[in-house]
């Protein structure tokens, strides 16, 4: 969920989410999709359900909220008691929102790959890889984060109630 915050110890990289994230400017077609392979939003068993598609859109909105530094978008997506966790610790809702939408990094593009959603009634788990490109005082960055977001229907809409992520090694380092 993101998600995806600035960590000075990591060249001020975003340690996702948001996932927030989040994430619609990723309209560029994925190379595999052009070859007729399954896209990053397809479910394992075939085409995604309406609920899965909704959750993928919310994850993409979260990533776009980070790119645009739009705290209102992120606030709309995360529940009042949302908690974020990564290797550096945990944050509450307001700490996470501030971390994802402010700071010295400039995220110019972000998107989600390999999203999978498992729905359990009014609760769902979304996993995926959030990628972020941008620049900071150390120069350009291109980071990827593996994330798990837990969503729940609250007040008639899906809201993220918990997020966990970690920075993946640089491409070729896996």
Q: Which residues contact 168 (CB under 8 A, 6 or more apart)?
A: 129, 143, 144, 145, 146, 174
Q: Which domain holds residue 161?
A: 2-167
Instruction: Please report whether residue 173 resides in a domain.
Output: no
Residue 109's CATH number: 3.10.450.50
pLDDT of residue 53: 98
Q: Classify burial at 50, counting beta carbons within 10 Å of its beta carbon; exposed 0-12, middle 13-18, buried 19 or more.
A: exposed
pLDDT of residue 171: 75
pLDDT of residue 87: 84
Instruction: Please report whether residue 34 resides in a domain.
Output: yes
Tens-digit pLDDT string for the chain (174 aa): 444 544 433 332 333 333 333 222 222 223 333 223 333 444 456 799 999 999 999 999 999 999 999 999 999 999 999 999 988 899 999 999 998 999 888 999 999 999 999 999 999 999 999 999 999 999 999 999 999 999 999 999 999 999 999 999 987 554
pLDDT of residue 4: 53
pTM: 0.74
Residues pairing with 136 in the sheet: 139
Say how many domains are in the chain. Answer: 1
pLDDT of residue 170: 84
């Amino acid at each position: 969920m993101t998600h995806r915050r600035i960590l000075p110890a990591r060249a001020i990289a975003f340690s996702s989410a948001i996932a927030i994230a989040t994430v619609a400017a990723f309209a560029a077609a994925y190379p595999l999709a052009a070859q007729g392979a399954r896209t990053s939003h397809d479910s394992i068993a075939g085409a995604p359900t309406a609920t899965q598609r909704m959750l993928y859109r919310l994850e993409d909105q979260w990533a776009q909220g980070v790119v645009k530094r739009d705290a209102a978008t992120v606030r709309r997506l995360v529940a009042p008691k949302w908690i974020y966790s990564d290797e550096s610790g945990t944050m509450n809702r307001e700490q996470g929102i501030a971390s994802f939408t402010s700071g010295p990094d400039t995220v110019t593009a972000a998107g989600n790959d390999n999203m999978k959603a498992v729905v359990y009634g009014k609760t769902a788990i979304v996993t995926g890889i959030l990628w972020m490109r941008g620049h900071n005082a150390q120069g350009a960055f291109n980071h990827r984060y593996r994330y798990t977001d837990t969503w729940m229907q609250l007040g008639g809409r899906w809201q993220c109630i918990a997020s966990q992520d970690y920075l993946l090694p640089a491409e070729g380092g896996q």
